[in-house]
Homo-oligomer: A and B are copies of this chain.
């Protein structure tokens, strides 16, 4: 391939500077500003209840800037007894634009309160969450999936002050997606519902919850529980699932998520079936490519935008010793109606 011309100024694989460039400490700032470290600490954190002369303030700020002073987070955490880190644990599932956006907004909202969000992709092999939490010294950890009792205990033990799974006592977002999907289908006159489970083990627990929700909706409508069939993201496998459904006269299927739904669509294609006439399918997530299928996928999506604000608020309140706000429970997916159901 040969050496290519590099854009100037773009370092590639850089080592530390020869002399590790000792970071300026708060003592340095104090010296330059001609005040004590205490004063520096006060103005930099603008401690309430302190009345520092404007001139002194200015000098300190000026000194800090000129030295490119960056408080040492570990030292601060050690002294203050708490870090400004919030850890977000993400399940092993594709992170689409929706979730990215949620994360971005959550990070922004948290940043406004001086908190830093980092994420940890949980996975089978990876370090357990409590260990990561301890490593980064997180003050709070947020989970997309509920934590089991052991994990929660360990998290507390590792110093995490609060734990905020999305699932709350009042409502289970996972359940509600299944519920909403099934209810939508039932509302369109379907009396025999199918459920497309992912074959992937990692998604199992979440899928089971969603299925439960769908089953609840069926029960309430007085129809049979969903006919469950599993599939991976392979047309052939999905085709088999489709056979099961048609054989049992299912007319509408809730897919675990959009990817699964797209697989179902592909499976239908190999049978020469078309949605929604032959079989209606509804997905979940509204992934970017959901509108590019034939027919465009009817799906649901979490309104992640305001969720992020609420989560941020709850965490800040929690860290401040308050009680997490109740509205956290009121998270429901919204319908994105297209043409597949």
Contacts and interface: CB of A to CB of B under 8 A. Distances in A.
Interface of A: 1, 3-4, 6, 9-17, 20-21, 23, 68, 70-75, 77-78, 83-85, 87, 92-97, 100, 103-105, 107-108, 111, 116-121, 123-127, 131-132, 134-137, 146-149, 152, 156-159, 161-165, 167-172, 175-176, 179, 233-235, 259, 262-263, 265-266, 269, 287-289, 291-292, 294, 314, 318, 323-324, 328
Contact of A136 (B9, B68, B85, B149): B85
A16 B94 contact: no
Contacts of A93: 100
Given A12-B169, A13-B165, A116-B127, 14 more contacts: A11-B152, A13-B314, A16-B162, A74-B74, A75-B78, A83-B135, A103-B121, A104-B124, A107-B121, A108-B125, A119-B121, A233-B292, A235-B292, A269-B294
A29 to B, nearest CB: 15
A164 B169 CA distance: 44
A118 B132 contact: yes
Contacts of A164: 13
Copies in the complex: 2
A6 B16 CA distance: 52
A137 B94 contact: no
Given A12-B167, A75-B78, A263-B292, A104 B131 contact: no
A224 B247 CA distance: 54
A10 B165 CA distance: 10
Most B CB within 10 A of own CB, among A13, A105, A108, A263: A13
Contacts of A179: 1
